[in-house]
Every structure is written in C-alpha cells, then in structure tokens.
Structure 1
Amino acid sequence: MASILHFGTDGWRARLDGDFTDENVIRIADAAGAYWARQSAGAIVYVGYDTRQDAERYACLAGRVLAGYGLVVKVCDRYVPTPALCWTVGCDARAVGGLMVTGSHNPNDYQGIKLRVADGGIGTDEFYDEIERSIEADPVDLRGSIERVDYLTPYFDHLYSLVDTQAIADAGLKIVYDPLYGSASSYFANLARAMGIDAIEIHGEEDAEADSTHPEPVEPWVDDCERMVVSTGAAAGLVNDGDGDRVGAVDEHGRFVSPQKIIALLLGHLCINRNMSGRVVLTSSSSTLTRRMAEKLGCKLTIKPVGFGHIYSEIRKGDVLLGGEEAGGIGVPAYMPERDGLFMNLLLCELMAVTGKTLGELVDDLEEQYGRYYYMRRDLRVDAGVVEMLRMVLPGLNPPVVAGRVPVAVSHRDGLRLGFADDSWLLLRPSGTEPMVRIYAEAPSIELRDELLDAGSDIARGAFS
C-alpha cells in the first residue's frame, strides 16, 4: 500500500532507508508535472540536486517524469545550492517552477524534495495542498527526455555583481567557510577568493565524518568552525546548511552568532549602509533585538507564524525589505523572493568591509545599542497524543504566572507566545509533522532564559493543569 506523502513547511523529506524511494520520487514528480502542465503547457522546469547519496540519479528520474507531461526539463550538470535553482527559475520568464532534490538541514540519512513556483519562491499553502491532493498511489507511466545544463555559473556571476567587491578586496578579509558537506561545498569559498577574501574551507570534501555531521548551522555542528576561526585568526566564520539557503556565523573569538543576531545585523546594513527601506517581516520566534532595531530604523514590522512560507506570502504583497526566520533563512526581495544563505554570507563580508570591523565587534555594537538577549530553542519529543492535546488546549490557555513572572502579552496566533515586561518571551509550538513541541525563549540572562524554557517544557508536559 502506497504511503501518504505530506509536505511540511519546506517540502517533503524521508529517510533514505525508509520512504525516500524511486516510487515516491516518481509520485511527487508526477503530481508536480501534471500541475505545472495545466498551468503552462510546454513551459520550462529546472531541476537541481545536492551532494547526498544518489541525489543526481533521483533528480534525473524526477526530471524524466516531469518531461513526460510535455514540460521542458533542465537538470543542472552538477550539484547546486537551492538558491541557485530559485534564482534561475525566477529569472526565466518561460519557467513555471523548479524541483530540488535535497535533504537540506536534516540529518544525512534523510533526503527530500523541495518545489518552487514561477518566481523562484517557496509557494503558498494552497500550492502544496493542490500537489498533495494530486499525488496518486499509482502514477501514470509517462517519461520524457531531459537536458543537462549549467545554471550554476550565471548564478555565481550574479552574486558577484551584488556586493561592493572593491571594498571587500580592499578590506583584506580572512574568513573560515563551513558548508557542512552540503551543496555549497567549494563554490562559495571560490567565489569569496575571487573577491580577494582569504577563505579557508572546512567540511568541503566527502570524508568519513560526513555522514555523522548534521548539516544545520547551529551549535554543536559549528564547533569545528569555532575552533578553526580562533586558530587561524580569521575575522569571522560563515556557515551554510546542507542546501545553502540558511546561514549561521562565528565571530573572531569563536563565539556562535545566532541567525537572530545575523538578521539584525543585516537589517542595519541594508538600511544604514545601503540606504534601503521597506517592511520587515519576521516570525513569532524572532528576537527582541531585531524588533527593536526595526522600530528605531522606522521600518514597519509584520509578524507571521513560523515558516518561510508565511514570509513569502507577505513578500508577494510588496514593500518588503527583509524577511527572516530564526532557523537562519533570510530573504531580501529586491534580490529574489527566497532565502539565500550564500548571499547573506556576502552581505556580512560587505558589512565587515565597509565598517572596518570584525563580526564580534559588530555584534558588540548591536548589543550595546539594543540590549543583550540570550535565545534558545528546545525540541521536546512527546507522544503524538500530547501534541494533539496541545493543539486544542493552547488557543485558550492564559497562564497567570510562568517561571515566577506575570505575562504582559499573550498571543495564540502561532501556538502560545508569552511576553514579559523586560521584553523576554516564551513560545510553544506543536510540530505539524513530528511528535514534538518546539519551545523557544529569549531573555536578558541565560538563567532566566533557561527558567522560561523549563517552564515551557512543563506546560508542554501538562503541568499547567
């Protein structure tokens, strides 16, 4: 019996030794091909793939299924970051969408498929609902021919043109780059070197450690980058996830710089150094730092539920300067309506170059001006029944005291978010795809943050009754 395939916040994923099979790849490609052929018969669809096991074979298989619907299918001739696929789709008026075979930030025993719409963006919930409804247990046996093309080179040529390469070259920057064995391996480091940056790449070639590395740009997976930055005297370490659409960083002291702080730094750079303006779209798990900065810079702030799809829906409305999520996905719509971790790396390099400051100095300036806050997310695994119960209970839950503190703001827009007088906050969100509750907290001290996380865990386990 065919398994039920469900798209999460950014595509479908499954274990390579489980549901990620030829059959299920065919089923998804069949549904997407039928949808796109109805939208625009004979249109172009771009296909890409990452560095994981058999990714190229799966991409070519999906491409032949798409081509069976009369679509012109162009599969990249080598592994590519997801942003390269998104940019290519968005730049080609003949393109109707894109399909990316990637495990993204998930463990290396997983693989997945991401779909992109005609502007290169993630698409709306309605788009994925339609694809899911169209997935057949026994898809039609249609196959066509595919083209192998290089769309990676034009993408990197464009990235090169987006930043002040002269300022970057003059700054004499030294960075450590960690692609976590993902699909930006070798590519970004070579681009940085072409700009005059002394770039040291780690985890860029397949080795025995690759399968045990979790390609997510957060601690502890950035520990090697932290050590390398300190030992080489680099100004910063830049980290991307497995498919290059998320970003993390390390300062010159080996301290992890969270995506929350990166969003704030880049917002300031765009407004102050690039003289750009517009709305800022953040998710409910966004940092107090960025909210304060947006207010001071005069940027209208829009808060949406967690997931870049919600940010994309706001981008489609227009007048968005920057959209960011706590997981490290950051988009600048003036460039394209999607996340691009490689472009964010370049903006950080440009920021360091034009200010003459290291990443740590920039973070220190940020915190001196807007306050120091400590953020953390805790993923609490619980029974599926607990997740369902929380979905029903949280919309009506208003705890009078949490961790000995009285909430001054309560929101049920995306789970349960509690705000406190010192701008610390706690957020609980039941996962939509796993038996898990995600608990987020930010506070002026590590001790208070951890108290809030513990209180959130108690709530998730039912101690609020």
Structure 2
Amino acid sequence: MTRLFGTDGVRGLANQVLTAPLALKLGAAAAMVLTEKTGTGKRRPTAIIGRDPRVSGEMLAAAMAAGMASKGVDVLRVGVIPTPGLAFLTDDYGADIGVMISASHNPMPDNGIKFFSAGGRKLPDDVEDRIEAAMEGLDETGPTGTGIGRVIEESLDAQERYLAHLKDAINVDLTGIKVVVDCANGAASVVAPKAYAAAGAEVVPIFNQPNAFNINDGSGSTHMDKIQAAVVEHGADIGLAHDGDADRCLAVDAEGNIVDGDQIMAILATGMKEKSSLHENTLVATVMSNLGLKIAMRREGITIKETKVGDRYVLEELGRGDYSLGGEQSGHIVVPAHATTGDGTLSGLMLMARMAETGKSLKQLADVMTVLPQVLINVPVSNKTLILEDENVRTAIATAESELGDTGRVLLRPSGTEELFRVMVEASDSEVARKVAGRLAAVVAAV
C-alpha cells in the first residue's frame, strides 16, 4: 500500500486525489493522534488551520476543520497565511495542532495538507504513520453536545502577529535598498511586501494579486525569468521570489543573475560565523546542494552536515546538533533562532540585512561561492519505486560515476510530491553534465 504522506505532507490533485472526504477523515484521525497527551478535563485541545489562496483550499480547510471539531478539537481558522506564519502561530497561540492547506510551488489544481505539532514543528515519520493507521476503521461518531469542537474565524490578528514576529527577528534598517518581490500570487502577497517595507526597504511587488486561480502561474520561485526582468527594469538592488506558501526564497542580483538557496546559505553562514552565531561553525544542507557550496564552506572554515532532500530532514539535523542554519538549494532556509520551518520572508530580510551591514551588493556577497555546473532533469514515471531497482538504471549510474570520477557526482531520487524521478548531474564542465544527465534520463524514462 502506498504511503499517504510524502516528504511534505499529503499532496495531490484537489477533488480527485485530495478530496474533501479524505481531508475530513484525515482531520479526525490527526485530532485523535495529536491530542492524545492533552490533559483530559483540564482544557479542550486546539488547532489552527491556515491556507494559501488557491480555490480548493477553502473547501479542504472547511473539511479539515469539520473533522477535527467532530473529535472535540476547537479550531481557529486564520485564512491565507504563509506556511512559516502558520507554524509560528501554532506556537504563539499555544495550539496543540497546526494545519497548513497548501501545495507550495505546485500548480493551482493541486493542493496539500501539512501538519505541525505543538510548538509549530513538523511531524516525524512515525507520527504520520500513526495518523494513517488511525484512519483505518475510524469511528465516524464522536462527542456530542458541549463536547463538539468550535470552529472560529480570525484572520487579521493572525497576519499582524506574524508580521510583528518578523520585525522583531531582524532589527536592521533597510533604508536605501530597493527590492522587487515576486509573491507568486500566493500566501506572501500581503505579508512579504509589508514586512520588507516595515524594515525600511523600497518595495516593488509583482504577482501580488491572488484570485484563487493564478497561484504560481508563470510566477514565483519556479519561474525566475519574470523577476529577473523586473529587477533590471526597475533598477532594483535585489529581487526576491517566493513560492505559493512562502516558505521558499530565491534571489536575483542587480544585474538579473539568480542567487539560489545554496548561495543564500553561503552568504548567511559566513555572516553568522563572523558574528560567532553559527553554532559549531556548521551548516546543514541536503545532498542536492551544489559541490561549489562544499568547496566554499571548507575554505571559510565551515563544516557541512548533509541530509536527505526535504526541509523536514534539515530540521531534524538542526535539532540533533542544535545548529543555527540549514536549508536547501530550492530556497528553503531554516534559522532555528527565529523559525521552526523554512521561512522565505525571513530569508529575504536576513539577506537584505547582510547587504545593509556590509555595504556590499548581492552580487559581491554571492561571490563567496562558485556554482559548479549542475543539470537537473525531472523525468515523468509511472512507478517511482521501480527505478533504482532496474538493472539498466544501476548500470547507467555506475558508468556515469566512473566517467565523472572526482570532478563531479550523480544523484537520482524520486520526487516526494509528484510522479517524477529527478536526475541530477554535477561536473566541472557544463556540456559534460548535460550529456551525462540526458543519457541517464533516457534510461530512467525507458523503465
């Protein structure tokens, strides 16, 4: 049986794979599992539900709230909010459960459900497995009368609380910095421009008019061409691109060059090391990070702890070592001192703060590392679990690794959210990386 939870919650085509009845059942099961230790009779367990602006979020949030209320959980619905804002509010309100309805960077027809435990932390695999198990044979009845949970709407205060938190986290004057921010017509559309302006930056927002149908449509961190052009057009110092739920941030320098998550981590890590705030001079990154990051951090005296792909695994390693900074090439940057998950708006503030502190341009700061050529091909597949078991694929990987030697590397892995297999090749020469990746992708596609 296929596991319901992927690397980032439950995700799929809304109203086909991810349906309202499924959300209702998932909400009821999660309420039972995540409130097991709540003191009986002392207080009612509580949950906070937020969403991004996509149309199916309204339906799924309602179903999730109904499922949780049916098991005696009081639910506060805070409307459209970034995922890191929902995580913060789960802790700030002292809730037992946080639920974010979002498919992040995925197209509008998709949606997803992410859970947070008390304190705003993502769930470990074993707790997700317990929720799945609880869905089997779930009793559709629950408490009656006063035992039924309440569902309350409260949106405005939630955003203001999150904005106040961001302001407190980064207390640097950004006056003189002009920033273009691509909000992906998503959850960042209100919060990110307000947060940057409150810090003193001159803000030019684009794709900040969500209408329930245009989230991630040709915009955001997966469509960087628009913000690259906008930064040059407006003569901005920096561009910041978020995804649909605003837990990612990618940047663009004044010349229109992309500054990815690896480069952002390199900039922040070296700055934190200078201030002696990088615990054990260690950065946590995933296996997808560019080899250039490893080379640069070694030169700067910073150790890299490597994890599987997924910000949840970065978070686990950060917690194990009490480290100060971690993230992914895709733009998930985690700073445990200020957030329990990746926070794109916080990353943008920290990046501009570094520019203000040093007086350097983003391009100058990004020069701390040289990005080695890296080719990533997403191959549509019918069954992700079969790929690495295929003998032809194994042979092709061995051949590629032998060909590259110490000058590059190969990484093949399944997507955690889509029916895709990701083929990544790094090499000192871009043409070599392209050829090797194309060859491997063809073998994967033939399985």
Q: With structure 1 as the length reference, what TM-score do the two structures score?
A: 0.85
Question: Please, which of 174, 187, 192 is the counterpart of residue 191 of structure 2?
Answer: 187
Q: Which residues of 2 match residues 12-23 of structure 1 at below 5 A? A: 12-23=10-21
Unpaired runs of 5+ residues, structure 1, are 408-419
Contact 1:108 1:211 in 2 (8 A): yes
Task: Write the letter of the residue equivalent to 2:318.
Answer: I
SS at structure 1 position matched to 2:431: helix
1:37-436 counterparts in 2 under 5 A? 37-41=35-39, 42-76=44-78, 78-92=79-93, 94-136=94-136, 140-142=140-142, 144-149=149-154, 150-166=157-173, 168-169=174-175, 172-206=176-210, 210=214, 213=217, 217-218=221-222, 221-273=223-275, 275-278=277-280, 279-363=282-366, 365-367=367-369, 371-384=370-383, 387-391=385-389, 401-402=399-400, 406-407=403-404, 420-422=405-407, 424-431=408-415, 434-436=418-420
Uncovered stretches (5+) of structure 2, i.e. residues with no partner: 143-147
**TM superposition shift of 1:183:** 0.4
Q: Any idea what SS the aligned residue of 1:366 has? A: coil
Is contact 2:392-2:443 (8 Å) kept?
no
Tell me how far apart the structure 2 counterparts of residues 330 and 373 of structure 1 sit (CA, whole Å): 20
Aligned residues: 435
CA RMSD of aligned residues (A): 2.7
Greater Cα offset, 187-196 or 136-145: 136-145
Residues 215 and 136 (structure 1), Cα distance of their counterparts in 2 relative to 1, 3 Å cut? farther
Counterpart amino acid of 1:21? T
The answer to whether the 8 A contact 2:185-2:207 is kept is: yes
Q: CA deviation at 1:163?
A: 1.6
CA distance in 1, matches of 2:213, 2:102: 19
Offset of residue 228 of structure 1: 0.8
Q: What are the superposed Cα offsets for residues 153-212 of structure 1, whole Å, 9 maximum, x if unpaired?
A: 11111111122323x22xx00010001001010221122112221100000003698267
Give how far 1:105 is off: 1.0
- TM-score when scaled to structure 2? 0.89
Conserved? CA contact 1:50–1:56, under 8 Å: no
Aligned 1:434-445 pairs, distance under 5 A: 434-445=418-429
Q: CA deviation at 1:304?
A: 1.4
> Is the 2:253–2:259 Cα contact (8 Å) retained in structure 1?
yes
Counterpart for residue 410 of structure 1: none
CA spacing shift, 1:5–1:215, aligned 2, 3 Å? farther
1:366–1:123: structure 2 CA closer, same or farther, 3 Å change rule?
Answer: same
Measure how far apart 1:5 and its partner are: 7.1
User: For the Cα contact (< 8 Å) 2:25–2:135, is it kept in 1?
Assistant: yes
Whole-Å separation in 2 of the counterparts to 1:56 and 1:201: 25
- Tell me, in whole angstroms, the C-alpha distance in 2 between the residues paired with 1:208 and 1:162: 30
Cα distance 1:148–1:239, how it changes in 2: closer, same or farther (>3 A)? same
Would the alpha carbon gap of residues 443 and 301 (structure 1) be closer, same or farther in structure 2, given more than 3 Å must change? Answer: same
Q: Which amino acid in the other structure matches residue 149 of structure 2?
A: G
Partner of 1:456: 440
Query: Which aligned runs of 4 or more in structure 1 are off by greater than 6 angstroms?
Result: none
| Equivalent residues of 2:51, 2:100 under 8 A apart | yes
Cα distance in 1, alignment partners of residues 327 and 177 from structure 2: 26
Q: What percentage of aligned pairs have identical amino acids?
A: 27
- What secondary structure is seen at the aligned counterpart in 2 of 1:254? coil
